[in-house]
Amino acid sequence: MAHQIEIVNIGHTITGQSGDTLLKSLERYGYKLRVGCKNGVCEICEVVLLQGEVVQSYPEKHLTLLENSDETSEPVFACTCRPLDHIKVTIEGLVCPGDLLVKKLLCDITAIEKLNHDVYRVRLQLPATASMSAEFYAGQYLDLILPDGKQASFSIGSAPDQGRHLELHIRHIPDSEMSNTILGYLQTEKTIEVEIAKGDCYLQAHSIQPDTRLIMAAASTGFAQIKSVVEHLLANQFSNQIHIYWGARVEEDIYLGNLPQQWAAEHTNVHFESIVSEPENSPNWQGRTGLLPAAILEDFSDFEDVEIFTSGSPAMVYALLEACEERGFSEENMHSDVFAYAPRKK
């Protein structure tokens, strides 16, 4: 006999089958929670029963909490607890379907190289053991954590399809103590602690509609995030039109320009434009000049079936959004981490 399981703290409700443990019902729907022994001994999978009737095999319990009862809650273990009727619970630390666990891991520093006058490419390798593995989506970021506890966020510049190998693009800011400390650490140490994966601005190839055109707009080292997304799409044989725009102050700031050119040469659905905003400081530059939003408006007369994935400063992102909105573009079709840490002013 089926019953409802209401997860009060996240506002979700699922259907459980008679005889199934709470853990089995959650896992059937793609939820994840911390588990250990799966027999009630380790007590890791504790949840809180708020209402309903359950029987627990170990430690042995038979609980009934009524809606208006003086008993407001009771701890039970998801692995050995079986609902007998509709129940309400709270489950802290529950990972919803599609979400990924955030983990702190020790990564090997496998390489660091200078790409131009101030940008370094850092290569890391995640642990090999299954218990210490980590997943991320294309477009997410991680935090580098120093021994003193200080940390800084960087976009992951490699696609999840590349397995344990991670790539970061880190700009050196000489007058920043944090920047100097991080680069100094990466250049002298063999391992570094990371917290991965973070960020709600990501893309999965299977979630894009067949007729959707994608605009990937990057400013400066924002290209790292765009690189992760594009490489993920290409690894999954994505055939939609992909238009990549990389805006920089001077020519030298386009530090991996040959890579998107190669994508465009090898894939007929990929198009690449680089734009320099200060051509007077780039005497050898013969490409497009001006601001990135203007370049996109020059190329797109309408934004029907267009989604924009953009990475850069809040000023750039909102300038691009406002420019495209004048052509009928909807904000809900733009994806950027900026919306999380610098919300748009009403």
Separation of alpha carbons 117 and 115, rounded Å: 7
Q: What is the pLDDT of residues 139-153, one digit of tens each?
A: 999 999 999 999 999
Burial class of residue 185 (count of CB atoms within 10 Å of its CB; 0-12, 13-18, 19+): middle
Residue 222 inside a domain? The answer is yes
The span from the first CA to the last CA of the chain, in angstroms, equals: 50
Asked if 211 and 238 sit in the same domain, the reply is: yes
CATH assignment at residue 80:
3.10.20.30
pLDDT confidence band for 305 (50 / 70 / 90)? very high
pTM of the complete model beyond 0.85: no
The percentage of the chain sitting over the pLDDT mark of 90, rounded to a whole number, equals: 80
Final residue before a domain boundary, out of 198, 228, 246: 198
**Average predicted confidence (pLDDT) for the chain:** 93
- The pLDDT score that the predictor gives to residue 131 is 58
CB atoms within 10 A of CB 23: 20
Predicted local confidence at residue 54, as pLDDT? 96
Q: Tell me, yes or no, whether 140 and 65 share the same domain.
A: no
- The residue among 164, 198, 232 that closes a domain is 198
Residues 225 and 170 both lie in one domain? no
**Cis ω for the linkage preceding 160 (within 30 of 0):** no
Q: Are residues 66 and 171 in the same domain?
A: no
CA distance 145 to 150: 6
* Residue 213 belongs to a domain: yes
Quick check: is 98 in a domain? no
Where does 97-211 have alpha helices with state H? 177-188
Provide the pLDDT for residue 237: 94
CATH number of the domain encompassing residue 121: 2.40.30.10
**305, part of any domain:** yes
Output 54 or 94, whichever has higher pLDDT. Answer: 54
Domains held by the chain: number:
3
Query: Both 172 and 235 in a single domain?
Result: no
pLDDT per residue as tens digits for the range 261-300: 999 999 999 999 999 999 999 999 999 999 999 999 999 9
Q: How far does Cα 103 stand from its chain's mean position?
A: 13
Residue 97 in any domain: the answer is no
Chain centroid offset of residue 96 CA: 14
| Rounded distance between C-alpha atoms, residue 190 and residue 27, angstroms | 38
| CATH number (domain holding residue 238) | 3.40.50.80
Phi, psi of 275 (to 5 degrees): -130, 130
Domain range for residue 185? Answer: 103-198
130 shares its domain with 178: yes
In a domain, 95, yes or no: no
pLDDT band for position 69 (50/70/90)?
low
Question: Domain check: are 269 and 185 in the same one?
Answer: no
Q: What is the pLDDT of residues 204-248, one digit of tens each?
A: 888 899 999 999 999 999 999 999 999 999 999 999 999 999 999
pLDDT the model gives residue 71: 67
